[in-house]
Structure 1
Amino acid sequence: MDNVIKHPKIAGAIRALLGKDFALPPTISNHRVVCPQPAQNWHLDGGAKHDGQLNTLLVFYYPEPCPRDMGPTEIVPGSHFLYTRTNRFIGHHGRIRGSYHTTASAGTIFLTHYAIWHRRSESWGAGVRNNLKFWYWRTSPPKRDWIKTPGFNLSTAEFEFSNSHLNPDAPTFRDQFYDCADSANLYTWLCGKSDEVNMLGATAWPINFKADRWNFPKQYGAPEHILDD
């Protein structure tokens, strides 16, 4: 498994999210099931936190192909922003609009926030499904030291929740514009400068500047100074 947990492509993504000297998984569990099986209840793994930070990544690895009929893990994108006190408040839900089945070819790795809502989806195929699950931890304070995209402009960056690459009809499950605020708060925290940002509210940054009712060339109140390294 060393070639998996230390693979350059996955290590680079984790380095950008968790900073330098991140901790490697101390254990790996195989969520092995013999299909067919009913769906699990929706749940968060134990110890999930809702504090606007990113200190732990939950990772799923499929060593073999996992098509839909083999019950891949089902997640609700963006659900890590939804405060959930205990699993009994979400376990009773059945199908959730906007959920995503992590169907995969052999060798696929999914990186998720530790507080993501997830479950094993129902399966109707025959055979064994292996799904290896492990974690990475942050060991250093957040700092904007990842590879930067040339020309990135904080005042026009879109913080609106977008699941179009997975499910274009997915809702945010949050009050109006809170998806923008949640994403922007996490971004400024990852920069290590959340204490330097004061969101003004109303239609100021980070409201999506492409919203139909406005046509802002830039967003008022964008803390562009946090990009000055």
Structure 2
Amino acid sequence: MTSQNKVLLTDEQMRTFITEGFLILQTDFSEEFHRSLSEQLNQVYQEEGNPGNNLLPRVRDLQKVFDHPIVTGALTSVLGPNYMMHTHRHGHFNASPKAGGWHKDSYWGYKRMRNHHPWWAMVMYFPQDTPVELGPTGVMPGTQNYDTRTFESDDVEGEAVASGKAGTFALIHYDIWHRSTPNILGQPRFMLKFEFMRTEAPAAPSWDCIEPEWKQPASFSTSIVEHETMWKETWNWLSGRLGSVANTAEADEAQANAVAGQLEDAFEPTALNAAYELGTMGKAGVQALVKALHHENVKVSRKAAYGLSIAGAEAVAGLEQALGDQRTETVVHAVFALGELSHLAQSAVPKLVALLNGSTDVVIRQAVVDALSLIKKPAAQVVEALTAGLKDEDVQVRFMAALSLTRFGAEADSAVPALEIALEDENRYVRGHAAEALHYIGTSSAKDVLIRFLLNSRWCPTTTPQNTFYP
């Protein structure tokens, strides 16, 4: 599908996504299309159960949904033109009169530090009319950047629900707090959840950008705590302006230390605002954040990492030094910040590679493979390290190494032989990510391996226990 076909988001929609963490959008398929889609889903679930990751090939019309200009345009706007559909997908069936629990989705068992920058997103698609009484997905606006629940009760004021006609979908920041709401009608309700990943750091706006400078949306949920610096930095990052807020505020050591005290605030939004404010304060802010990175409270250390991740090149030296810390959490937080600093942290690559090759702490190795793929340079050294990661004893290191190689294109051609071996891994996500990496590498050698793998693993989506051979 060409870029001309995609219905890109507007500036106002992107502002809303940045502040609220989601958009409710609508496709324009016919009623007959959704009636047929719902019938196919009902038949599959009744006869075979949940198809899990085989949802897309089992219900073939679903691909039309993800080729729709409004869906592709929304995903392109948030994740860039070369976004990847993840191999995990799930059709949620809800007939319960009780609400589900508030949660953030995991990264398939991988307890990673969550990005504030939108590297990941989800589409939750509703193939049937879904009034509020049918139990649509509920999201808590503005909570995508909070590790903790900032609201106490389950039934909270301000919850937004993805209700609407068939073809409604929620585009959400991967890390937003969400739940299923009560289906008091008791009728079948499907929600088709697909996950997507950005494969490139943004170099320019990928939405229909008319006004290049950040401003708040005309309106947003009254329950949202304002994060002006965070929102502006995210907008600028999505526009290709890495490190845009670094050194934009003047502060001395005393002023920075006063703000740093707020990193210990029990209310997470307050602590995050302090971290982002310090990230704008140049040397004084970086010094306060590096000190907080080593704070005895790991929650304070984590907040400091977010501030350092937007503080520019000034933060790199302190983060490199923290890679030698004895506490796992401190190292993981430093690794995360270095990854978010992208090419500004290139000097840290040798130390990160040494950690990947030598650390006995699997949590650190998991964090390093992700960070290396965000820094990317020097490509040859990073690709070599990630290729070695495909053989790690930990399955999550292996599947993140394969996923990370999707970000290099033809520069990762040397990884093709190792990816071919990874296609036989015991874990489905290592295999799936290896196939995606070969697709994004795109060289002749990569395509040959991928085509052979796909031919050998091909299957018939209409073959079921009830329909084995004919027609």
Answer yes or no: same fold by TM over 0.5: yes
Deviations 1:66-121 (A, max 9, x none): 1111111110111102233xxxx579631122111111210112100000110011
Q: After TM superposition, give the deviation of residue 49 of structure 1 in Å.
A: 4.6
2:223 is aligned, of 171, 178, 203, to 171
- Helix, strand or coil at the partner of 2:78: helix
1:130 is matched with: 190
Q: Is the contact between residue 205 and residue 240 of structure 2 (CA under 8 Å) also seen in structure 1?
A: no
2:93 is aligned, of 28, 32, 35, to 32
1:205 is matched with: none
**Alpha-carbon distance between aligned partners in 1 of 2:250 and 2:235, rounded to the nearest angstrom:** 17
Q: Is the contact between residue 5 and residue 24 of structure 1 (CA under 8 Å) also seen in structure 2?
A: no
Q: After TM superposition, give the deviation of residue 160 of structure 1 in Å.
A: 6.4
- Unaligned runs of at least 5 residues, structure 1: 203-220, 222-229
Runs of 4+ aligned structure 1 residues displaced above 6 Å come to none
1:187 is aligned, of 211, 235, 252, to 235
**Alpha-carbon distance between aligned partners in 2 of 1:34 and 1:132, rounded to the nearest angstrom:** 15
Equivalent pairs counted in the alignment come to 186
Q: After TM superposition, give the deviation of residue 195 of structure 1 in Å.
A: 1.4
**Alpha-carbon distance between aligned partners in 1 of 2:115 and 2:158, rounded to the nearest angstrom:** 24
Q: Is the contact between residue 120 and residue 173 of structure 2 (CA under 8 Å) also seen in structure 1?
A: yes
Structure 1 residues 149, 91: closer, same or farther in 2, change over 3 A?
A: closer
Query: Which structure is higher in strand share?
Result: 1
* Largest Rg, 1 or 2: 2
Q: After TM superposition, give the deviation of residue 153 of structure 1 in Å.
A: 5.3
Say if 2:135 is the partner of 1:80: no
Q: After TM superposition, give the deviation of residue 161 of structure 1 in Å.
A: 8.8
**Alpha-carbon distance between aligned partners in 2 of 1:44 and 1:81, rounded to the nearest angstrom:** 11
1:43 is matched with: 103
Write the letter of the residue equivalent to 1:55: W
- Helix, strand or coil at the partner of 1:51: coil
2:215 is matched with: 158
Write the letter of the residue equivalent to 2:169: I
Q: Is the contact between residue 159 and residue 179 of structure 1 (CA under 8 Å) also seen in structure 2?
A: no
Q: After TM superposition, give the deviation of residue 39 of structure 1 in Å.
A: 0.6
With the length of structure 1 as denominator, give the TM-score of the two structures. 0.72
Structure 1 residues 148, 115: closer, same or farther in 2, change over 3 A?
A: same
2:119 is aligned, of 55, 58, 61, to 55
Q: Is the contact between residue 67 and residue 103 of structure 1 (CA under 8 Å) also seen in structure 2?
A: yes
Write the letter of the residue equivalent to 1:158: K
2:81 is matched with: 20
Write the letter of the residue equivalent to 2:241: K
2:165 is aligned, of 96, 105, 108, to 105
Higher relative contact order (CA 8 A, sep 6+): 1
**Alpha-carbon distance between aligned partners in 2 of 1:52 and 1:159, rounded to the nearest angstrom:** 17
**Alpha-carbon distance between aligned partners in 2 of 1:200 and 1:65, rounded to the nearest angstrom:** 50
With the length of structure 2 as denominator, give the TM-score of the two structures. 0.37
Q: Is the contact between residue 42 and residue 92 of structure 1 (CA under 8 Å) also seen in structure 2?
A: no
Deviations 1:29-87 (A, max 9, x none): 1110224x211111000037533211111110000011111111110111102233xxx
- Unaligned runs of at least 5 residues, structure 2: 1-61, 252-279, 281-471
Quote the RMSD (CA, aligned, Å).
Answer: 2.6
Write the letter of the residue equivalent to 1:131: M
**Alpha-carbon distance between aligned partners in 2 of 1:141 and 1:41, rounded to the nearest angstrom:** 33
1:224 is matched with: none
1:94 is matched with: 154
**Alpha-carbon distance between aligned partners in 1 of 2:242 and 2:218, rounded to the nearest angstrom:** 20
**Alpha-carbon distance between aligned partners in 2 of 1:182 and 1:197, rounded to the nearest angstrom:** 9
- Helix, strand or coil at the partner of 1:119: strand
1:118 is matched with: 178
Write the letter of the residue equivalent to 1:82: Y
Q: Is the contact between residue 42 and residue 91 of structure 1 (CA under 8 Å) also seen in structure 2?
A: no
What is the percentage of aligned positions where both structures have the same residue? 25
Structure 1 residues 147, 73: closer, same or farther in 2, change over 3 A?
A: closer
Query: Which structure is higher in helix share?
Result: 2
**Alpha-carbon distance between aligned partners in 1 of 2:160 and 2:197, rounded to the nearest angstrom:** 25
Write the letter of the residue equivalent to 2:119: N
